[in-house]
Structure 1
């Protein structure tokens, strides 16, 4: 097992924050997990996660051996938009779950990645190797995947610092009269239904920007840019302002357009390459069914 030794000089604060500032190659969430699993000792003693470091503290981190992946690799076709030694960009089809969970142990993006890609970052453990961020099962479009821990930390920091670019296209119910707007409303778990998120007092900060692309009878096509990345953020925010995403089984009306879930597509993804620092921007066309639905609306079919 690898060990990391850290001597505290003048740093103060919670141990996870101090260590993540000092050890740039390891994320704060990874350090929190090591503390939780008793892999971090201060002055020879196991500490709690809220421990505040003091001058002259001697910290030893014993990095555990990576767990053997017990998720089955599956030969599922993947649309790889870009790949190098550090990152992948995947165009995920609608209907594919990103990572295994209860009830979804097979057929996920992770199952496919394990088959097609030799190396993936280990920061998110055996269930979500390489996964830096996710999109919902019935949302299509672009995802970035990390092939090593250095890349994972760099990409995750960009998400945290709001410097990455994520633009979506959605077809929503109703005709939005203004051309653009910003939705700034906190999101948390719904008190009425644990499966749903909602705009609630005390929720996590969530900001979505939108711009109208095209209007139809009873519907509007919008482009949305995420400033934050809360669970179901676009779907919750659009429902909140009265324009739910068409086809959304959780947040939309029951009578809607025919499809396989919400008409929501992660169209554009941009980030600074974790090694070169070059800004990279990728774009994925709308799925065929999405395009056909728009054509039908244009023709009033």
Structure 2
């Protein structure tokens, strides 16, 4: 248990942001510590708080407030669980990189609090050698897909490929195409959503369109309109967390099945969806060694394909 004084640069921010800033951890991890009661008031008289009382994650902390943080023992991520991952299939492989179809429910790499399967562990189980560049638990990872999103993902096998691909994604040179089934019919049927995205002020695991957020641009066009939903072709110019889900929810057209962002649960049940209908269908990259343009595609997984069949009946 260590005591800290809220510095001026963090004054007035929510407790989860303050704890993240003080401890050098992510805001979501800080929110977890607060929920577990690991952050308490050490001294706080202006609002009558008693020492030892838990700090609420939504409270805004003034400069000079004294808090105590009971940091959990660090999670050892140096060991990656090597285990086969069902439906993790290789789409392309050479000496420098490997592209896979990432199934839903699989994380890109190990992280604190995640106990499920990972792309890295699945590749190692298949005998694919991956570069040791990057943090040990993230080796070879040059971009990520959310756990609840399926589709194309590329992993570096060599140090050179890792360096070149990381820079490419940082400079937004890859082409990232997604297909999404959204509720309703967006009007216009083709366009660009240009709206900044930030962490939702009232929900730890959600994001929202908001002033002061990071720039985010999503280009879209209609593929096919059904009675209550529309299949969209989407190209990401930026790659913010939950960007497609947040942008279409802000338009009033959340991804079908995406209950986190306001999708209709009855429609999700009718379509047999237990997650958002969102798939990374195509990734275009310049090969990190030859410079050749590679276009890699991933077919819809069974759950998403089945929902389309139900719409067409």
Q: Unaligned regions of 5+ residues in structure 1, if any?
A: 1-66
Aligned residues: CA RMSD = 1.8
Q: What corresponds to 2:257 in structure 1?
A: 247
Q: What corresponds to 2:124 in structure 1?
A: 114
Q: What corresponds to 1:70 in structure 2?
A: 79
SS at match of 1:100: coil
Deviation at 1:178, TM superposition (A): 2.2
CA contact (8 A) 1:174 1:219 kept: yes
Q: What corresponds to 1:233 in structure 2?
A: 243
CA contact (8 A) 1:138 1:260 kept: no
Distance 1:73 1:81 in 2: 20
Give the TM-score normalised by the residue count of structure 1: 0.73
Q: What corresponds to 2:139 in structure 1?
A: 129
Most deviating of 226-235 and 282-291: 282-291
Question: Is it true that 1:263 corresponds to 2:268 in the alignment?
Answer: no
Question: Is it true that 1:145 corresponds to 2:155 in the alignment?
Answer: yes
Q: What corresponds to 1:288 in structure 2?
A: 302
Most deviating of 217-226 and 110-119: 110-119
CA contact (8 A) 1:72 1:106 kept: no
Question: Is it true that 1:163 corresponds to 2:177 in the alignment?
Answer: no
Which stretches of structure 1, 4 residues or longer, exceed 4 Å deviation after superposition? none
Length, aligned pairs only: 233
CA contact (8 A) 1:188 1:200 kept: yes
Structure 1 residues 76 and 158, CA gap change in structure 2 (3 angstroms): same
Q: What corresponds to 1:38 in structure 2?
A: none
Deviation at 1:254, TM superposition (A): 4.4
Distance 1:115 1:163 in 2: 31
SS at match of 1:210: strand
Distance 2:213 2:309 in 1: 38
Give the TM-score normalised by the residue count of structure 2: 0.71
Q: What corresponds to 2:287 in structure 1?
A: 273
CA contact (8 A) 2:256 2:264 kept: no
Distance 1:118 1:288 in 2: 25
Per-residue Cα deviation, 1:68-117 (whole angstroms, up to 9, x for no partner): 94122113343000111111100011221222223323422122123224
Question: Is it true that 1:200 corresponds to 2:210 in the alignment?
Answer: yes
Distance 2:77 2:204 in 1: 32
CA contact (8 A) 2:77 2:110 kept: no
SS at match of 1:250: helix
Q: What corresponds to 2:110 in structure 1?
A: 100
Deviation at 1:249, TM superposition (A): 3.0
